[in-house]
């Protein structure tokens, strides 16, 4: 699938890739990035029926697709000591994606994820 447009967000967090992976699978985070970023409503992208987990190379690479294939989010995780660099690249099939599918929410989701891994509390999300 050729993608017309992409956005990228990078963050660094203290922890391991395995710990990050487990957190990504937790329903509160899964529904947050599915709803806020992939435009999939409250669907859990890890649920067997959803078919949205597109590609996995544990614990380095995860690709999640929107159900209608109009966008996909690529998580790349690199470890350096006890820091993990997370790069989320969100690709869109169309140059002008529908407003609800444009991702304005990755900074919020990833800030919350970083807080959760480092402090045990995700914080209150505004969305």
Partner 1 sequence: MSDRFVYVTYIRTTPQKLWDALLKPEFQRAYWFGVHQESEWKKGASWKMVFPDGRVADTGEVLEIDPPRHLVLKWRNEFRPELKVEGYSRCTYDLETVADTVKLTITHEIDKTASQFIVAVSGGWPKVLSSLKSFLETGNALPETQKYPAKA
The burial class, CB within 10 Å (0-12 / 13-18 / 19+), for 55 is exposed
Q: Which of 2, 48, 80, 96 binds partner 1 (CB under 8 A)?
A: 80
Alpha carbons 6 and 73: distance in angstroms, whole number: 9
16 sits near partner 1 (criterion: CB under 8 A): no
Near partner 1 by CB under 8 A: residue from 6, 14, 42, 56: 14
Taking CB under 8 A as the rule, does residue 26 contact partner 1? no
Closer Cβ to partner 1, 36 or 65, answer by number: 36
Of positions 47, 69, 83, 94, contacts partner 1 by CB under 8 A: 83
Instruction: Indicate the residue among 9 and 21 with the shorter CB distance to partner 1.
Output: 9
What are the distances in angstroms from CA 65 to CA 55, 70, 78, 116? Answer: 9, 8, 21, 24
When the beta carbons of 26 and 108 are compared against partner 1, the nearer one is 108
CA distance 112 to 120: 10
Q: Which stretch binds partner 1 (CB under 8 A): 31-39, 51-59, 71-79, 116-124?
A: 116-124
Q: Does 81 bind partner 1 (CB under 8 A)?
A: yes
- Show the beta-strand stretches assigned E in the chain: 5-14, 53-57, 61-65, 71-80, 83-92
Name the 3-class secondary structure at 85. Answer: strand
């Amino acid at each position: 699938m050729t993608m017309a447009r992409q956005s990228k967000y990078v963050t660094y967090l203290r922890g391991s890739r395995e710990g990050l992976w487990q957190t990504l699978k937790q329903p509160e985070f899964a529904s947050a990035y599915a709803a806020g970023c992939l435009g999939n409503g409250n669907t859990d992208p890890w649920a067997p029926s959803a078919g949205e987990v597109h590609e996995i190379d544990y614990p380095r690479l995860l690709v999640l697709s929107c159900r209608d294939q109009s966008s996909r989010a690529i998580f790349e995780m690199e470890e350096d000591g006890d820091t993990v660099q997370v790069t989320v690249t969100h690709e869109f099939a169309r140059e002008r994606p529908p407003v609800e599918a444009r991702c304005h929410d990755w900074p919020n989701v990833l800030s919350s994820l970083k807080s959760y891994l480092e402090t045990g509390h995700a914080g209150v999300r505004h969305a």
